[in-house]
Amino acid sequence: VAVAWFTAANDRPTVKVAFSQDAGATFEVPIRLDDGRPEGRVDLEWLDEERIVVSWQENTDAGAEIRYALVSRKGKEGASQVLTNTDPSRQSGFPILARTTDKLWFAWTQVDSTTTLRTAFLKL
């Protein structure tokens, strides 16, 4: 079991993930994933028995970005990656991850003069 979440406890926004090896009865020490200015909108998807991908929205000076990171029980594997720029408003919705046999799919709402559903994938 793995759980990823956004918190702003003590006015410190963070995105964290924690793993459990006993079906959620207890969890290991949380791993921080964000890059310092997270907005939340967190999702996760298992890649295999050891690794997950976590996505979230990160604020930037120009607006916001949808970012993702590969994570195992040992920690974050490499730097966060930027999927796309996005609108920081609630209108942009909640990005979603989904895995198929050989692809990791991302779906999000693009906001400009209209709202459009966008998708992208990473080949596994």
- For the chain, the structural domain boundaries read 2-90
Give me 48's structure tokens. Answer: 């295999």
CB 80 within 8 A of CB 68: yes
d(CA 59, CA 107): 18
Q: Average model confidence (pLDDT) for the chain?
A: 95
Task: Look at phi and psi of residue 63 and say left if phi exceeds 0, alpha if psi is from -120 to 50, else beta.
Answer: left
Whether the predicted pLDDT of 85 surpasses 90? yes
3 state DSSP class of 50: coil
Closest C-alpha among 40, 54, 38, 41 to residue 2: 54
> How sure is the predictor about 23, in pLDDT bands with cuts at 50, 70 and 90?
very high
> How sure is the predictor about 89, in pLDDT bands with cuts at 50, 70 and 90?
confident
3 state DSSP class of 48: coil
* pLDDT of res. 25: 98
CB 53 within 8 A of CB 42: no
* pLDDT of res. 93: 86
* pLDDT of res. 30: 97
For the segment 37-65, the average pLDDT, to the nearest whole number, is 97
Closest C-alpha among 69, 93, 64 to residue 79: 69
Whether the predicted pLDDT of 91 surpasses 90? no
> How sure is the predictor about 113, in pLDDT bands with cuts at 50, 70 and 90?
confident
